[in-house]
Amino acid sequence: MSVRASLHGVVVHLGGAEILHGVSLECAAGEFVTLLGPSGSGKTTILNVIAGLVDLSQGRVSFDGDRIDDRPAHDRDIGIVFQSYALFPHMTVEDNIGFPLLARKVPGSQRRQRVAEMLELVRLQGLQKRKVTSLSGGQQQRVALARALAAHPRLLLLDEPMAALDKNLRETMQIELKRIQRETGITTIAVTHDQTEAMTMSDRVAIVHEGLIEQHDTPEALYRRPGNLFVARFLGEANHFQVEGGRLAAFDLHVPAASGTAVVRPEAIELALGHTPAPGALLGQVESAVFQGVRYRVVVRADGLDPVVVTVPTDRDLSGVGPGAPVTLSAEPAEIHVIAGEEAPLDEAAVLDPSAA
């Protein structure tokens, strides 16, 4: 049975420093929520507070409205998958998965049946007698997940679950992990610094920064309607333009805010070759055009603006487009999101690149 997990005004001090500054978070029963943020933001501390591995200084943690932060970690009915997986190397796959059941003194027949169910869930049938040291990284992760779920926990916590996997396997396991979570219906809270991972797996994402949650919403809402420039910068690449007097001068458009910063994603900007002066058109020259497999990433220079990044699907052949080529950019008003009253620093590049976060 899944649980509704809640944090209310959680403050944590570690080593004399305040690490969390009043964090509040709601995770609905059966929901997959990811804590996403840069290293040192506090996301792992939040996870450890829920798990009972870190004491809070203020606030409370509740499951279905019942306070649980005064309970020891072993009495919270939580399954955890650590970044290192923390498997027992001297044990077989089935012994690792069945260990939580053995610790709870579950009878042997019931234990074997549950292990078989878990092997089927994570698609490792036939490997139960193998030592975990003989398995691949992806298989070891599945064993760790099966062990975490074996005792029917109400909440699953995942600490950087894909960090040890290579890129291709990581992408496969993101889809697998989401499948398993949906099949079991277990409430899940994960930690990652990988925005693609968070977008792929999550029902909602909480952006964590400097011990606070900046914004908590669906991946699509966060991407299309970031609440501030930090969220816009961290969750995907974006261009920003200054808004003054309710007008976005770059595209000669009126916007529903007197001042602030307009955020425009690279794929939301249309690029046409050549200069075609027209209302709302931004004329510029190509600085670089790079082929990236499924798209071209084009950087454009325009008078009075910092570089503008545009992504173009590769069904359009831009292989012959080089530096200095004239181009015309345009954007639909519906694709422009204005962060009212917040202006980017003048010395900050117009392109908000997550790789710099």
Q: Which residue, 42, 52, 37, 44, is CA-closest to 21? A: 42
| Alpha-carbon dihedral sign for residues 82, 87, 88, 89 | negative
Q: Rounded CA gap, 309 and 171, in Å?
A: 26
Q: What is the DSSP string of 68-114?
A: -TTS-GGGS-EEEE-TT----TTSBHHHHHHHHHHHTT--HHHHHHH
Task: Please spell the DSSP secondary structure of 311-352, one letter per residue.
Answer: EEETTS--TT--TT-EEEEEE-GGG-EEEET----TTS-SEE
Give CA separation, 287 vs 308, 321, 351, in Å: 10, 10, 14
Residue 10's contacts (CB-CB under 8 Å, 6 or more residues apart) are 20, 22, 23, 24, 46, 49, 56, 58, 59, 60, 61
Give the containing element (helix H, strand E) for 222: helix 219-224
Task: Yes or no: say if 47 and 191 are a contact pair by the CB < 8 Å rule.
Answer: yes
Going residue by residue through the chain (357 aa), what tens digit of pLDDT does each one get?
Answer: 689 999 999 999 999 999 999 999 999 999 999 999 999 999 999 999 999 999 999 999 999 999 999 999 999 999 999 888 889 999 999 999 999 999 899 999 999 999 999 999 999 999 999 999 999 888 998 999 999 999 999 999 999 888 878 888 888 889 989 999 999 999 999 999 888 899 999 999 999 999 999 999 999 999 999 999 999 988 889 999 999 999 999 998 988 888 899 999 999 999 999 999 888 899 999 999 999 999 999 999 998 898 999 999 999 999 889 999 999 999 988 899 999 876 665 444 344 444 433
Q: Does domain 5-223 have CATH number 3.40.50.300?
A: yes
CA distance 21 to 18: 7
Distance, in Å, from the CA atom of 266 to the CA atom of 96, rounded to the nearest integer, reads: 46
Query: Residue 135, SS3?
Result: coil
Helix, strand or coil for residue 266? Answer: helix
Rounded CA separation 324/303 (Å): 13
- Fold match between domain 5-223 and domain 238-356: no
Return the CATH number of the domain spanning residue range 238-356.
2.40.50.140
pTM here is: 0.88
Spatial CA neighbour of 237 closest among 342, 357, 329, 345: 357
Domains of the chain, by residue range, sit at: 5-223, 238-356
